[in-house]
């Protein structure tokens, strides 16, 4: 078992090193030191985890399940997958009826549950006090007799443990039982503590990877999603829209005479203009819209659950936001937009080409914040 675990550790280390080399090279070529630094930290974290895993002695027969669990976690860099495997492993402990895992995530906090409805989980969760010496907190739930009788499936007791990585708390693991008068015993709490200890580094590494991937998906200048992310997301959402028969619209926009802006105030000043106008785009789009910098001074917005009329309206609002007030020495900037709605059997490339063709028709007609629609 130890040999197999060591082989797995070495394989994951090699894969991680290759991934780190690729992403760092791409980050350098894009002059994005943030991505490079995030990837370096990810590689270091994965190597530390593998060294710890390889150094772990062979456990006695009764404890081999957590060791297999450790190997599975170390092989994954997907935050949701690590959380799911942790929940499955914890739910297999005798006496546990429901589990909640909360952990730090790139865009807030991950909250995963098993054995709970969402509202019930939120009501049962107990926050841990800040204490580096804390091992676990045991909780007993008492109800009014007229509200919860002995046969009710309500939670009766639980235990909450900190999940740590490199000595820092990265989340909490909560396990609950619905059996009245029978709290989790010491053996169950010991196993929970072992699982939390193993899950901590895996969750932290998955979070770091997600952060590095998120940075790699962003355009460093504007903070919008980049060209690669735009086309990957458009392909995925077109396929999903066809599968579930949902509407999808695409808006592309281009700044009018932006080359003249660069000639007048320089490329550095032009970069500042792009950053400012991108921030204005963000204030207008919906939370469900995916705004991207497609390239140069061209932007795209993927609009989920939207049609042509929605895209036309958004195009007018974006153009108005861009031209609404001057941008420093560049003065007032105009924008032209083109929109297209997804048609049956249409590919992502075809949708983009139709929207782009509409954009160029708009620029030919007028450079006064006009929106053109495919076929119009």
39 shares its domain with 144: yes
236 with 210, same domain: the answer is no
- Please check whether residues 24 and 153 belong to one and the same domain: yes
Q: Measure the CA–CA gap between 337 and 254, rounded to whole angstroms.
A: 6
- Asked if the structure places residue 21 within a domain, the reply is yes
Token duo for residue 173 = 């693991």
Same domain assignment for residues 181 and 38: yes
In 234-285 the beta strands, taken as DSSP E runs, fall at 248-255
| Residue 57 forms part of a structural domain | yes
User: Is 62 a domain residue?
Assistant: yes
Q: What is the pLDDT of residues 259-284, one digit of tens each?
A: 999 999 999 999 999 999 999 999 99
Residues 129 and 71 occupy one common structural domain? yes
The set of residues, in sequence order, having a beta carbon less than 8 Å from that of 69 and lying 6+ positions away, is 85, 89, 195, 198
Q: Which residue range forms the structural domain that includes residue 267?
A: 227-373
Question: Distance between CA 36 and CA 315 in Å, rounded?
Answer: 35
Looking at the fold, whether 236 and 349 belong to one and the same domain comes out as yes
Pairing of strands 335-341, 371-373: parallel
Same domain, 232 and 209: no
| CATH code for the domain in which residue 189 is found | 3.30.450.40
* Residue 212 and residue 244 in one domain: no
Q: Do 239 and 152 belong to one domain? A: no
CA 252 to the chain's CA centroid: 25
At 241 the pLDDT is 95
pLDDT in tens, 101-157: 999 888 778 889 999 876 777 778 888 888 888 899 999 988 876 666 666 778 889
Set 256, 297, 310, 356: catalytic member: 297
Say if residue 252 is in the same domain as residue 301: yes
Has 297 been annotated as catalytic?
Answer: yes
pLDDT at site 11: 47
Write down the pLDDT at residue 132: 84
Nearest to 204 by CA among 368, 311, 76: 76
Q: What is the mean pLDDT of each run of 10 residues along the chain (376 residues)?
A: 48 48 46 54 53 45 51 75 92 92 86 83 83 90 72 85 93 92 90 93 90 84 93 95 95 93 93 94 93 95 95 94 91 94 96 95 66 50
Which of 71, 63, 55 is closest to 8 using CA atoms? 71
What is the model's pTM? 0.56
Using alpha carbons, select from 78, 70, 74, 128 the residue that is nearest to residue 100.
128
**Residues with Cβ within 8 Å of residue 168, at least 6 apart in sequence:** none
Q: Which runs of E-coded beta strand occur in 256-375?
A: 290-295, 298-304, 335-341, 371-373
Q: Which two tokens stand for residue 95?
A: 């006496």
Q: Among 182, 216, 250, give the residue marking a domain's end.
A: 216
Domain count, the chain: 2
- Do residue 188 and residue 299 come from a single domain? no
Note whether 184 and 157 are within 8 A (CB). Answer: yes
- Which pLDDT belongs to residue 68? 60
For residue 221, being part of any structural domain is answered with no
Q: Looking at the structure, do residues 56 and 100 belong to the same domain, yes or no?
A: yes
Output DSSP code: residue 210: H
Number of neighbours of residue 127 by Cβ within 10 angstroms: 9
CATH of the domain at 284: 3.30.70.270
Q: Dihedral, CA atoms, 268, 273, 279, 285, nearest 10 degrees?
A: -130
Where among 181, 216, 251 does a domain terminate? Answer: 216
The two three-digit tokens of residue 32, written as one number:
């994005």
How far the first Cα of the chain sits from its last, in Å, is 67
| 222 inside domain | no
* Last residue in a domain, options 216, 247, 270: 216
Name the β-bridge partners of 252.
300, 338
Angle 344-349-352 (CA atoms, 0-180°, nearest 5)? Answer: 90
The answer to whether the CB of 367 falls within 8 A of the CB of 290 is no
Domain-embedded: residue 257: yes
């Amino acid at each position: 078992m130890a040999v197999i675990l060591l082989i797995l550790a070495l394989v994951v280390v090699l894969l991680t090193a290759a991934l780190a080399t690729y992403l760092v090279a791409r980050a350098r070529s894009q002059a994005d030191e943030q991505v490079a630094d995030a990837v370096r930290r990810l590689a270091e974290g994965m190597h530390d985890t593998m060294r710890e895993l390889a150094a772990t002695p062979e456990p006695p027969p009764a404890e081999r399940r957590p060791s297999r669990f450790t190997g599975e976690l170390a092989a994954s860099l997907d935050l949701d997958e690590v959380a799911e495997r942790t929940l499955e492993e914890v739910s297999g402990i005798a006496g546990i009826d429901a589990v909640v895992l909360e952990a730090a995530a790139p865009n807030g906090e991950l909250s995963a549950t098993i054995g709970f409805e969402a509202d019930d989980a939120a009501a049962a969760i107990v926050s841990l006090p800040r204490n580096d010496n804390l091992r676990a907190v045991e909780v007993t739930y008492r109800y009014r007799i007229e509200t919860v009788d002995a046969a009710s499936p309500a939670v009766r007791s639980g235990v909450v443990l900190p999940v740590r990585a490199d000595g820092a708390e990265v989340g909490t693991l909560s396990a609950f039982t619905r059996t009245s008068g029978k709290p989790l015993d010491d053996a169950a709490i010991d196993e929970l503590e072992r699982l939390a200890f193993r899950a901590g580094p895996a969750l932290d590494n998955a979070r770091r990877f997600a952060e590095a991937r998120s940075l790699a998906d962003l355009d460093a200048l504007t903070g919008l999603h980049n060209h690669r992310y735009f086309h990957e997301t458009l392909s995925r959402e077109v396929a999903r829209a066809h599968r579930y028969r949902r509407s999808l619209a695409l808006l592309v926009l281009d700044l009018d005479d932006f080359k003249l802006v660069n000639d007048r105030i320089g490329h550095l000043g032009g970069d500042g203009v792009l950053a400012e106008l991108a921030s204005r785009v963000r204030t207008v789009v919906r939370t469900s819209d995916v705004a991207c910098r497609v390239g140069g001074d061209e932007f795209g917005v993927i609009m989920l659950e939207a049609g042509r009329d929605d895209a036309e309206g958004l195009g007018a609002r974006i153009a108005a936001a861009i031209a609404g007030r001057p941008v420093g020495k560049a003065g007032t900037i105009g924008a032209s937009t083109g929109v297209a709605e997804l048609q049956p059997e249409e590919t992502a490339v075809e949708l983009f080409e139709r929207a782009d063709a509409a954009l160029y028709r708009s620029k030919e007609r007028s450079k006064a914040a006009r929106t053109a629609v495919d076929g119009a």
